[in-house]
Structure 1
Amino acid sequence: MTRRIPQLLIGLFLYGIGIALMVRGEIGVAPWDVLSLGIDKHTHLGFGLITVLLSGVVLLLWIPIRQRLGVGTVLNALLVGPSAAVGLALIPAGQDLWLRIIFFAVGLLVVGIATGLYIGAHFGPGPRDGLMTGLHRRTGLKIWIVRTAIEVTVLGIGWALGGNVGIGTEMAHAPRDSPRLG
């Protein structure tokens, strides 16, 4: 347990930093981040705060599907957004394309490492993947159908709001907060 808690916290912090690097890459981001960017474009609340607020909305959607949360679920909802905000404050925007590609690639690598740390701590699914697995369990639909439906929906809304969709959107399609499925 003493190793798992720092592992969880480091994983969540690095996850936000990885997201910030991909956002600063400006070549597209994961669907949920497209939504956060789109909402931010209209509200100017800040990417980090919007990420936290969206996590809260997603957790409210857990109630009717009777999905159970864990400590990691709550910490994911509360910490990824602020750590992304820290990264966005530290990483300069508007760089040359070659540097933005490096930002994106490093961000993708950091997100991969962070995901391994976070999931490996075994403190429950993150809000978005808990929604996916909960809907899968309640509807009986294949997990890929549920995930695709959710992500196409949030991507479409985010894009309509002006979120950054690009080549990086496909590459960043990795799960944000995959649960322990086995």
Structure 2
Amino acid sequence: MTLRLLQLIVGLALFGAGCAAMVDAGVGLDPWTVFSQGVSELTGIGIGWVVNLTGFVVLLLWIPLRQRPGIGTVANILVVGTAMQLTLPLFSTPDSFVLQLAMFLAGVLLVGVSSGIYIGARLGPGPRDGLMTGLNARFGWPIWACRLGVEASVLVIGWLLGGTVGLGTVLFAVLIGPVVHVSLPLFDRERRRRRSLGTAARPAPPVQVAPEAGRR
């Protein structure tokens, strides 16, 4: 359990750092970060703190959906935004678009790999993942429809509030899935445990996470 907790915290902290790199790249963001940036612009609250607050509000939506948070859910709310807020001053927006794009892609890579790290600890989904699976379980809506409806809504609201929508928004949507797909098996502790016991022939149960994985 100690190693799993360490894996969880490291993954979430790196996730926050990757998000900070994408924000400072200035070429667009994923829908939830667009929303957080828009709220930050409106209220003057640091974007990382808004990420934490948004995660807490989304967690409250679990109550009518009868979802149960895990250690990973709570840690997600506390760590990602905090790491993001603390690492934002370490980056600065490059002068050229090529460097901005390179910085953004590095952030996407870090977010994707760190998603595999913290999801692989198997200590509970992030609040936004749980919202998607909760809507699916409660109402029977397809997860893709839940994701599309929720993320389209927060994207539009965030954009109207001043969040950055651009090429990076499209690139994130296209790239994050493949990166998580490659990284998750490398850090899935249950899969690795079964392999060490010589039971790889029986695959580990899949991690229950919405296709929104990698978006906090």
**TM > 0.5 fold call:** yes
Aligned-partner Cα distance in 2 for 1:164–1:77: 22
Aligned-partner Cα distance in 1 for 2:66–2:95: 45
User: Which residue does 1:30 correspond to in 2?
Assistant: 30
Instruction: Report SS of the residue matched to 2:165.
Output: coil
User: Which residue does 1:134 correspond to in 2?
Assistant: 134
| Contact preservation (8 Å) 1:58, 1:127 | yes
| Contact preservation (8 Å) 1:28, 1:165 | yes
1:35-46 equivalence runs, <5 A: 35-46=35-46
1:12-23 equivalence runs, <5 A: 12-23=12-23
What code does the residue aligned with 1:21 have?
A
Per-residue deviation, 1:94: 5.4
| Contact preservation (8 Å) 1:125, 1:180 | no
CA 1:44–1:93: 2 relative to 1, 3 Å: farther
1:28-177 equivalence runs, <5 A: 28-93=28-93, 95-173=95-173, 174=176
What code does the residue aligned with 1:67 have?
Q
Say yes or no: does 1:10 pair with 2:37.
Answer: no
Instruction: Report SS of the residue matched to 1:172.
Output: helix
Per-residue deviation, 1:167: 1.1
Aligned residue pair count: 181
Aligned-partner Cα distance in 1 for 2:17–2:140: 35
What code does the residue aligned with 1:82 have?
T
Give the TM-score, by structure 2 length: 0.80
Higher relative contact order (CA 8 A, sep 6+): 1
- Worse overlay, 42-51 or 89-98: 89-98
Per-residue deviation, 1:93: 3.0
Equivalent residue for 1:181, pick from 177, 192, 208: 208
What code does the residue aligned with 2:158 have?
G
Per-residue deviation, 1:136: 0.7
| Contact preservation (8 Å) 1:11, 1:114 | yes
Instruction: Report SS of the residue matched to 1:3.
Output: helix
What code does the residue aligned with 1:38 have?
G
| Contact preservation (8 Å) 1:124, 1:180 | no
| Percent identity for Structure 1 against Structure 2 | 48
Aligned-partner Cα distance in 2 for 1:86–1:99: 22
What code does the residue aligned with 1:125 have?
P
| Contact preservation (8 Å) 2:25, 2:92 | no
| Contact preservation (8 Å) 1:27, 1:164 | yes
Aligned-partner Cα distance in 1 for 2:7–2:170: 28
Q: Which has the larger radius of gyration?
A: 2
Tell me, which stretches of 5 or more residues in structure 2 are unaligned?
Answer: 185-205, 210-216
Instruction: Report SS of the residue matched to 1:95.
Output: coil
